[in-house]
Amino acid sequence: MIPVLDIQNLSFGYNKSKLIYKDFSLTLNKSEVVSIVGVSGSGKSTLFELITKNLKPFGGSIKTQKIATIYQDPYTSFHPTYSIIEQIKDVVKSDGLDKDIDFFIEKLVIDKSLLYKKPKELSGGQLQRCSILRALLMKPDLLLADEPTSALDNITSLEVMKLLVSFLDKFGILLITHDKDLASWCSDKIIEIKG
């Protein structure tokens, strides 16, 4: 089986005298959930920036298959002047899109009319569900989820995590969370970053 994420001997820090990651390795396969836990500022989100190539490591290698990302703050992941549906169509293949959208908006409890609005017209919770919708519609091999349910209430949060886990036959999930109970519930492996 080819891993959806393969990190070997990763080294990185914001200055070379203080490394956040030193010889860090991680392999994630389809159908697995690996959670990265740690306090704020420990380097959890930095790992996602390295995986998505927004940061360049000092050493080591990162290989991935097709990625979709859910960020903690949904307002930073949408352009403010375009509707949600336009931004979904920018990144999702159109074959079967209408059928897929109808399926997922029902599962995520999204009113379809919200898709035709601009991000600022939605609440944080509504926009986060749209962010999760977009990620699922991209049909990734690897889902990077950075505190994906932090903008949602507890009941919706659990329902959304159950939904994401129900699609593990299609992708692997790398989850960043400060919630150790959530990580224990859904993860095959937990990595704690001390910072």
pLDDT tens column, 50-77: 999 999 999 999 999 999 999 888 888 8
94 in a structural domain: yes
pLDDT grade for 87, boundaries at 50, 70 and 90: very high
Share in percent of the chain as helix, strand, coil (round to 5): 35, 25, 40
Pair 126, 166 in one domain: no
Please report the pLDDT score of residue 32 as a whole number.
Answer: 97
Q: Which domain holds residue 9?
A: 1-66+140-195
Pair 55, 146 in one domain: yes
Stated pTM of the model: 0.91
Is 49 in contact with 55 (CB distance < 8 Å)?
A: yes
185 in a structural domain: yes
Pair 60, 6 in one domain: yes
Pair 86, 130 in one domain: yes
Q: State which amino acid sits at residue 176.
A: I
CATH number at 183 reads 3.40.50.300
